Amino acid sequence: MDKKQNEMSKFLSYVLRHEPQAIGLTLDAEGWANIDSLIAGAALQGYAFTHEIIRQIVDTSDKKRFTLSADGASIRAAQGHSTAQVNISYQPKAPPETLYHGTATRFLDDILAQGLEAKSRQYVHLSADEVTATAVGQRHGKQVVLRINAGEMQTQGFIFYQADNGVWLTESVPPLFIAQ
């Protein structure tokens, strides 16, 4: 992905996950936005999206942040929403025994004391592999990867979901289920 596409991808993430109203866009409860409306609203902010550019961003995103509808008329962020109007109805799914969470070392003491909380997002994001968790943690500073005992969490009644892009989601992770 070139620099311009990367900038456009970040703009799409911002709009589809956090601030659709910034370009006059309305998302439905499942997070879907009409692509023609997105293109028109983004143009007012100086972004020259086309259907082709959007498809290319979706297809080349290493994190698979976006999903196109089957008819190609709508797009949504796969997960990570902080806007209250979106509440994607994921189906519960049994997680692997161990999931991973990448974070910065500066957050470690708080996490080990309080657990992982969704905060401004709807869910805590977890990875199925350490490589992905490492990459996520590096975005925030000196990284550390935490192991989450997801199998035991599920046994005790915690619910897990998996987003379109493979990210595992749950509402919180108490400290009891976290190991370094």
CATH code of the domain containing 51: 1.10.10.970
Residue 120 has pLDDT above 90, yes or no: no
Residue 63 has pLDDT above 80, yes or no: no
87 in any annotated domain? no
Neighbours of 106 (CB within 10 A): 11
Sheet holding 98-104, edge to edge: 98-104, 143-149, 178-179
The reply to whether 60 and 111 lie within a common domain is no
The rounded mean pLDDT for the chain is 93
Per-residue confidence band for 96, with pLDDT thresholds at 50, 70 and 90: very high
The reply to whether 116 and 149 lie within a common domain is yes
Residue 1: its pLDDT value, please? 66
97 vs 129, 147, 151, CA distance in Å? Answer: 12, 10, 4
14 in any annotated domain? yes
89 in any annotated domain? no
Average pLDDT rounded to a whole number, residues 63-84: 89
Residue in this structure with the two tokens 């976290």, named with its chain if needed: 178
8 in any annotated domain? yes
Distance CA 33, CA 161 (A): 22
Domain that holds residue 54: 3-77
Nearest to 79 by CA among 178, 144, 161, 176: 161
Residue 165: its pLDDT value, please? 86
CATH number at residue 156: 3.20.170.30
Tell me how many domains the chain contains: 2
Q: State pLDDT tens for residues 8-41.
A: 999 999 999 999 999 999 999 999 999 999 999 9
The reply to whether 112 and 47 lie within a common domain is no
The reply to whether 73 and 14 lie within a common domain is yes
Nearest to 90 by CA among 145, 134, 29, 139: 29
> Rounded to the nearest 10 degrees, what angle do helices 35-43 and 51-60 cross at?
100
List, in order, residues 6 or more apart from 53 with CB less than 8 Å away: 5, 8
The reply to whether 67 and 103 lie within a common domain is no
CA angle 120, 163, 132 (to 5 degrees): 85
Sheet holding 74-77, edge to edge: 33-34, 74-77, 66-68
Residue 57 has pLDDT above 80, yes or no: yes
Pick the last residue of a domain from 30, 46, 77. 77
138 in any annotated domain? yes
Average pLDDT rounded to a whole number, residues 139-149: 93
Distance CA 12, CA 4 (A): 12
The reply to whether 71 and 28 lie within a common domain is yes
